[in-house]
Chain A
Amino acid sequence: MRGRAGLVLLALVVACCGLTPLLSPYDPHLPDPARALLPPGGRHWLGTDQLGRDLLTRTAVAGRTSLLFALAVTGITTALGTVLGAAAGLAAGPSDRLLRFAATVALALPGLTPALALAGVLPPGPGAVLAALVPFGWVSCALVAHTATRRVAASGYVLAARAMGASPLYLLRRTVLPHIAGPVLTVATADLARTLVAVTSLSFLGLGLPPPETDWGGMVSEAVPLLVASPRPAVVPALALAVTGLAVALVVDSRDPA
């Protein structure tokens, strides 16, 4: 029930972010100082921001960027984590311990810390955002894939396939992956929520995409200095991100067996 509500909400957000830029007559990046901070209503449904840009269009475009980056990072980390975790689970032995140790080290750098460190040395740009979030992002997925693989690897049909001389790749593709897809999908949804937070947080700190490209975090950080005078330009993207986060969290919650 909650999961379905989350999916519907998420679909609405995606539709808004995808369609608005196509239907809107406004340029999301072009400033128009004469129309700065117009209230909602009339030709600007959500009003305009401090530089006179239509807030609805800009929020939608920023949302598209936020979601695309979160999806791209999660896609890469999920693929990487699944393969590494499953391979370690199948091979067993030292590779198990290596994975556990990598996970312990990753746990020692919580939250944004590794991404901040990498963003601090790499030249800014879209590639840097990916490079900052991928190196530590795969661990959670790898751990889940590893645990699930260990369970599958002990079963009869994997043993049978091994006895018939199946190659490791075949084992992975045909006997393991179909059985660990469920838990991997669950952790991928949770990772999506975390990555969305991380991507927008980097932009909020001014370490994400360089302007004029922007995402929700970047919009919020641009509007924070005038938060007291006119909170709307900060609150609109903040609410958009909150609704999206809530939607993903609802889906995660419904998939969580606990």
Chain B
Amino acid sequence: MRWLLRRAAETVLVLLALSVLVFSLAALTPGDPAEEILRRGGLQPTPAAVAALRAELGLDRPLPAQYAGWLLDVVRGDLGRSYADRSPVGAEIMARVPATLRLAGAAALVAVGLALTVSLWAALRPRGAVGRVVAVVTVAVAGVPPYIVGILLISVVAVGLRALPTGGDGAPEAVVLPALTLGLAGAATLLRLLRADLAQAVGQPFVKLAAAKGLPARRAVVVHALRLAAPNAIAATGVVLADLAAGAVVVETLFAWPGIGQLAVSAIRQRDLPVVQAYVLLTGLATVLLLALADLCLTAADPRVRRR
């Protein structure tokens, strides 16, 4: 219980630090936001108009007060208004969330599913060719950026074989290539961990005993060895899923997938600060929650953690 409380307190502290970082992005931006908004609205940034807008936005208050006000707004769910068209950022982001969730969810399935099946397969056939091939492939995938995997997949599967669409979110099968692109790197990371830990777990006396009692090898590995091998992989899954969410930016751009990542990239090109801030904040929040969730799963799977 105390462990849980400490973990929760740490999470809150990290989120606060994150909010300070995101808020200070504004300070790094050259130029005055009020002037920027007026100019983009097609208005003349006269000193009087700028001063009025600064007062309206609260930019004339001292920085700590600005931060407090901004944080309160964010906690209430008000992420400010976009520079480009003065529309509320929160609504704009929320409209994009389902697409990104669909892509990231499918990619997570690819990552976890592929890692589990292949590592169990390799553990059941320790001297098989599959294991050795997989070891080389995981190293290769780890070093190659996802969008390169995506380009190669598009040129072979979509252009060469004409089997799947090259991009967009029109058909249900359109998710296959982006999800594969996004999920492969995570699959490689998890697979590497799980394979090493499983190989070690299979050698443990209690797994041998289970097999000696007459348990089928498959059951001994899947039920007994996997539980011992799981903790590292569970801890890594949090990081892998967070990386997935962050990697969606590039994959969404490549496949013209209408998610948050695409919104963020166009906002960055247009220097639309509130949208960028909202994107970073959302990614950070999702990551922190994912890591906390992975920690909780870890405690459930491995009681030894609780005693630390």
Tell me the smallest distance from the CB of A117 to a CB of chain B, in Å. Answer: 5
- Interface SS of B by simple majority: helix
Say whether A224 contacts B25, CB under 8 Å. no
Let me know if B284 is at the binding interface, CB within 8 A.
Answer: yes
From B44-52, B66-74, B214-222, B247-255, the one touching the partner chain is: B247-255
Asked whether B152 is an interface residue with its Cβ less than 8 Å from the other chain, the reply is yes
- Per the CB 8 Å criterion, the residue count for chain A at the interface is 50
CB distance from A111 to the nearest CB of B (A): 3
Q: When the two chains form the complex, which single residue of B148, B276, B291 contacts A107, counting CB atoms closer than 8 Å?
A: B291
A104–B145 Cα distance when bound, in Å, is: 24
Contacts of B145 in A (CB 8 A): 196-197, 200-201, 217, 241, 245
Task: Determine whether the beta carbon of A206 is less than 8 Å from that of B14.
Answer: no
| Given known A104-B10, A110-B239, A200-B145, contact A246–B155 (CB-CB < 8 A) | no
Contact of B159 with A227 in the complex, beta carbons under 8 Å: yes
User: Interface of chain A, helix or strand or loop or mixed?
Assistant: helix
| B276 contacts A117, C-beta separation under 8 Å | yes
Check A121/B148 contact, CB under 8 A, given A107-B239, A116-B268.
Answer: no
For the complex, is A123 an interface residue (Cβ under 8 Å from B)? Answer: yes
Q: A104-B10, A108-B287, A110-B245 are in contact. Are A121 and B151 (CB under 8 A)?
A: no
Interface residues of B in 251-269 (CB under 8 A from A): 253-254, 264-265, 267-269
Among candidates B151, B166, B243, B267, residue contacting A120 with C-beta atoms closer than 8 Å? B267
Which B residues touch A224, using CB under 8 A? 151, 254
Q: Are A207 and B268 in contact (CB under 8 A)?
A: yes
Given contacts A117-B280, A206-B269, A249-B142, contact A231 B148 (CB under 8 A): no
CB-CB contacts below 8 Å: A109-142 with B: 109-114, 116-123
The answer, yes or no, to whether B8 is at the interface (CB within 8 Å) is no
Let me know if A258 is at the binding interface, CB within 8 A: yes
Question: CB-nearest residue of chain A relative to B265?
Answer: A205
Contact with A along B68-94 (1 / 0, CB 8 A): 000000000000000000000000000
Q: By CB atoms of chain B within 10 A, which of A111, A193, A200 has the most?
A: A111
Query: A67 to chain B: closest CB distance in Å?
Result: 14
Contact of A108 among B14, B25, B154 (CB under 8 A): B14
Q: Which residues from chain B contact A114 at a C-beta distance below 8 Å? A: 280
Shortest beta-carbon distance from B257 to chain A in Å: 14
| CA A24 to CA B70, docked complex, whole Å | 56
CA distance A22 to B291 in the complex (A): 49
Partner of B159, one of A107, A228, A247, A258: A228
- Chain B residues with CB under 8 Å of A158's CB are none
Within 8 A of B (CB), among A47-97: none
With a cutoff of 8 Å between Cβ atoms, the chain A residues found around residue B291 in the complex are 107-108
A238: interface (CB < 8 Å): yes
Q: List 17 A-B contacts (CB under 8 A).
A: A101-B14, A105-B14, A109-B283, A110-B287, A111-B242, A111-B247, A112-B246, A112-B250, A116-B276, A116-B279, A121-B30, A201-B147, A205-B250, A217-B147, A220-B148, A249-B144, A258-B196
- Contacts A118-B25, A121-B30 supplied; 15 other A-B pairs, CB < 8 Å: A2-B139, A108-B15, A109-B21, A110-B287, A114-B280, A117-B279, A120-B25, A120-B268, A120-B273, A121-B28, A121-B273, A235-B152, A246-B140, A248-B143, A253-B142
Q: Which residues from chain B sit less than 8 Å from chain A, CB to CB?
A: 10, 13-15, 17-18, 21-22, 25, 28-30, 139-140, 142-145, 147-148, 151-152, 154-155, 158-159, 166, 196, 239, 242-243, 245-247, 249-250, 253-254, 264-265, 267-269, 271, 273, 276-277, 279-280, 283-284, 287-288, 291
The 5 closest A-B pairs by CB, nearest first: A249-B143, A111-B246, A245-B143, A120-B268, A231-B155
A interface with B by C-beta (< 8 Å): 2, 101, 104-105, 107-114, 116-123, 193, 196-197, 200-201, 204-207, 217, 220, 224, 227-228, 231, 234-235, 238-239, 241-242, 245-250, 252-253, 258
